[in-house]
Amino acid sequence: MKGFTRFASLAMTVTLAALLFATAAIAAPKVIKLGHTVNEQDSFQVAALKFAEIVKERTNGAYAIEIYPNAALGDERTMLEGMQMGTMDMGLITSGPFVNFVPEFGVLDLPFIFKNNAHAYAVLDGELGQAILAKLDTVGIKGLAYAERGFRNLTNSVRPVKTAADIKGLKIRVMENEVYTNTFKALGVNAVPMAWTETLTALQQGTIEGQENPVNVIHAFKLWESQKYVTMTRHAYAAAIFTMSGRVFSKLPADVQKIVKDAAQEAAVYERAWVADNEAQQMANLKKNGMEIVEDPDLDSFKAGVQSVYAKYPAFAEALKQIQAATPK
């Protein structure tokens, strides 16, 4: 009898342990991995953290967003290809590479089409921007929301650039995007398409002389270590797009899909405000670290220099009209 009692007690203990383990397993959050290519000081990290916070809160901890900065999951094109295949969950990706997957994104990359941030938001959050974002569905990627990369500006290590004539002959890294390449070639630049993951080394080694990015990138990556001159050309506005693998998104319950989409948009709005609030201080830090900033370049000379670029894309004519007609809310 005593032996039976001991056996029953042991069996009960094992059963309870198994139940506790099963309960813990059920309670463990489902993990979604989010990658981006920049560092923890960049606005992408700000957006990713806010997104993770909202998803955790609204799913009551059932879903957890794990953030992988510094290209830990690959460069931007690699991550997008991974999302297509379902081997990558989601990313926060600069808008530039998307033209390689959905050509219609190219209209958003044309030079000098956005008057200011509010104009860009009106387009991206409006009918045209959302229609372009939805086209990602056709290539196995779910577009969620446009966060901000920002207006792009030129840096270089050779000379101050005050007019379009000053930029001629410089070897400048551009995104792997045909529109950007054509824009800088039209200005007489030796444009070098290159992934951001390779750019810092190329700048440090002097194999390229400059690059173009928003102020927050110039600041986050301490480009004063390889670049002397900044020119506030604001030649193009780039979004940062919250994207998810179509396969991953389709497996989420409908209520979680809505939470994810809403969280992406809210995180995007939050990050846009963060970028605006921090730019003045970042500019001051660039100057403090020895960078010379041309704040009022001759933009008319740059605009004149890129007129031939628009003619290369007649398919974008109607979308351009919509962009020009868009008004901020």
28-325: what fold? D-Maltodextrin-Binding Protein; domain 2 (3.40.190)
pLDDT value, residue 22 = 38
The domain spans of the chain are 28-325
Helix %, strand %, coil % for the chain, to 5? 55, 20, 25
Residue 127 has pLDDT above 80, yes or no: yes
Output the CA torsion sign for 57, 39, 265, 101.
Answer: negative
Question: Quick check: 94 and 76 in contact, CB under 8 A?
Answer: yes
Output the CA torsion sign for 111, 37, 68, 252.
Answer: positive
Q: What is the mean pLDDT of residues 191-198?
A: 93
Mean pLDDT, all residues of the chain:
92
Residue 19 has pLDDT above 50, yes or no: no
Residue 15 has pLDDT above 80, yes or no: no
| Closest to 55 in 3D by CA, of 253, 247, 258 | 258
Q: Using one digit for the tens of pLDDT, what is the confidence trace for 103-118?
A: 999 999 999 999 999 9
pTM: 0.88
Higher pLDDT, 307 or 2: 307
Burial class of residue 51, CB neighbours in 10 A (0-12, 13-18, 19+): buried
Q: Using pLDDT thresholds of 50, 70 and 90, give the confidence band for residue 197.
A: confident
Q: Using one digit for the tens of pLDDT, what is the confidence trace for 266-278?
A: 999 999 999 999 9
pLDDT value, residue 160 = 98
Q: Where do the DSSP E strands lie in the chain?
A: 30-35, 63-68, 90-94, 141-151, 153-156, 171-174, 190-193, 210-213, 229-231, 237-245, 292-294
Residue 65 has pLDDT above 90, yes or no: yes
Q: Using one digit for the tens of pLDDT, what is the confidence trace for 223-253?
A: 999 999 999 999 999 999 999 999 999 999 9
Task: Report d(CA 142, CA 130) in Å as an integer.
Answer: 12
What is the bridge-based pairing of β-strands 292-294 and 63-68?
unpaired
Output the CA torsion sign for 315, 319, 321, 324.
Answer: negative
pLDDT value, residue 301 = 98
pLDDT value, residue 26 = 57
Task: Give phi and psi for 39, each to the nearest 5.
Answer: -90, 180
Residue 48 has pLDDT above 60, yes or no: yes
pLDDT value, residue 23 = 42
Buried b (16+ CB within 10 A) or exposed e, 151-187: bbbbbbbeeebebbebbeebbbbbbbbbbbbbbbebb
Buried b (16+ CB within 10 A) or exposed e, 14-24: eeeeeeeeeee
pLDDT value, residue 27 = 67
pLDDT value, residue 4 = 40
